A and B are shown apart, each in its own frame.
Chain A
Amino acid sequence: MRILARLLAAAFAVAFAAALSQSDDRVAAQTPAARTPAQRSASSSVPDLQGYWQGSGYATVDEAYDLEKGMPEDERIITGRTAASTTNANKGVVIDTPDHKIPYKPWALALRDRLAYNVYHPTRLEDIDSLTRCYQMGMPRQSFLGGFHIVQTAQFVFLVHGNGGARTIALDGRKHLDPKIKLWAGDSIGRWEGNTLIVDVTNINDSGWYDVAGNFHSDELHLIEKWTLVNKDLLRYEVLNTDPRVFTRPWTLRNEYKRVTEEGFEQWENACYEGERGVELMLNAAKKNQQQAPQESNQASPR
Chain B
Amino acid sequence: MSSRKLVVALLLASLTLAQSAFAHHAFAAEFDVNKPVTLNGKVTKVELINPHGWLYVDVAGPDGKVTNWRVETNGPNALLRRGWRKETVQVGFDVVVQGYQARDGSATANGTSVTLPNGQKLFIGATGTAAPPDDKKN
A289 at the interface (CB under 8 A from B): yes
A61 touches B129 (CB 8 A): yes
Q: Provide the B36-66 mask, 1 if CB < 8 A to any CB of A, else 0.
A: 0000000000010111111000000000000
| A262 located at the interface, meaning its Cβ lies under 8 Å from any Cβ of chain B in the complex | yes
A273-303 residues at the B interface, CB under 8 angstroms: 273-278, 281-282, 284-289
Cross-chain contact A281 with B138 (CB below 8 angstroms)? no
Quick one: which of B23, B33, B108, B130 contacts A74, CB cutoff 8 A?
B33
Other A-B contacts than A75-B27, A145-B22, A212-B25, 4 sampled, CB-CB below 8 A, are A60-B19, A213-B26, A281-B31, A281-B106
Is there contact, CB below 8 Å, between B54 and A120? no
* A85 and B138 in contact, given A65-B23, A79-B126 (Cβ under 8 angstroms): yes
A81 CB-CB contact with B under 8 Å:
yes
- A79 and B129 within 8 A (CB): yes
Instruction: Check A56 against B19 for contact (C-beta < 8 Å).
Output: yes
Say yes or no: A287-B104 contact (C-beta < 8 A), given A75-B28, A79-B126, A282-B29.
yes
In angstroms, Cα B17 to Cα A163, docked, is: 15
Answer whether A81 and B52 are a contact pair too, CB < 8 Å, given A75-B27, A284-B106: no
B22–A146 touching, CB < 8 Å = yes
Q: Is B11 an interface residue (CB 8 A)?
A: no
Contact sample, A vs B, 22 pairs, CB 8 Å cutoff: A54-B19, A64-B22, A80-B129, A84-B135, A122-B29, A129-B25, A146-B21, A212-B23, A268-B77, A269-B50, A270-B75, A275-B47, A275-B53, A275-B75, A276-B51, A278-B30, A281-B31, A281-B102, A282-B29, A285-B30, A285-B102, A285-B104
- A window 30-63: CB within 8 A of B: 54-56, 60-61
A85→B19 contact, CB < 8 A: no
Interface size counted on chain A using CB atoms at 8 A: 56
Q: Is A147 close to B, CB under 8 A?
A: yes
Q: Are A272 and B51 in contact (CB under 8 A)?
A: yes
Q: Given that A79-B27, A79-B129, A288-B105 are known contacts, is A277 also in contact with B72, CB under 8 Å in the complex?
A: yes
A131 to B131, CA, bound (A): 24
Interface residues on chain B, size class: 35 or more
**Chain B residues in 8 Å Cβ range of A61:** 19, 21-23, 127, 129
Q: Mark B105-138, 1 if CB is under 8 A from A, else 0.
A: 1101010100000000001011101111011001
Considering the complex, give the chain A residue whose CB is closest to the CB of B110.
Answer: A78
Residues of B within 8 A of A65 (CB): 23, 26
Q: Compute how far the CA of A65 lies from the CA of B28 in the bound complex, rounded to whole angstroms.
A: 11
Contacting pair A281 B108 (CB below 8 A): yes
Q: Is the CB of A275 within 8 A of B19?
A: no
Q: A130 to nearest B CB, angstroms?
A: 11
- Give the docked Cα–Cα distance between A136 and B127 (Å): 19
Interface members, chain A 108-125 (any B CB < 8 Å):
119-120, 122
A211 within 8 A of B: yes
Contacts of A274 in B (CB 8 A): 49-50
Contacts of B49 in A (CB 8 A): 271, 274-275
Q: Say if the beta carbon of A77 comes within 8 Å of chain B.
A: yes
1/0 contact trace for B1-35 toward A, CB 8 Å? Answer: 00000000000000011011111111111110100
Pick from A55, A78, A278, A287: contact of B33, CB below 8 A: A78
B20 near A54 with CB under 8 A, answer: yes
> A162, B20: Cβ atoms under 8 Å?
yes
Q: Which residue of B lies closest to A162 (CB)?
A: B20
Is A23 in the interface zone, CB < 8 Å from B? Answer: no
Question: Which residue in B22, B30, B52 is a CB contact (below 8 Å) of A163?
Answer: B22
A212's partner among B26, B75, B77, B125 (CB-CB below 8 A) is: B26
Contact assessment for A282 and B135 in the assembled complex, using a CB-CB cutoff below 8 Å: no
**Complex interface: chain A residues within 8 A of B23 (CB):** 61, 64-65, 71, 145, 211-212
Tell me the smallest distance from the CB of A29 to a CB of chain B, in Å.
17
Chain B CB within 8 A of A87 CB:
yes
**B100 within 8 Å of A (CB atoms):** yes
CA separation between A147 and B80, bound complex, in Å? Answer: 17
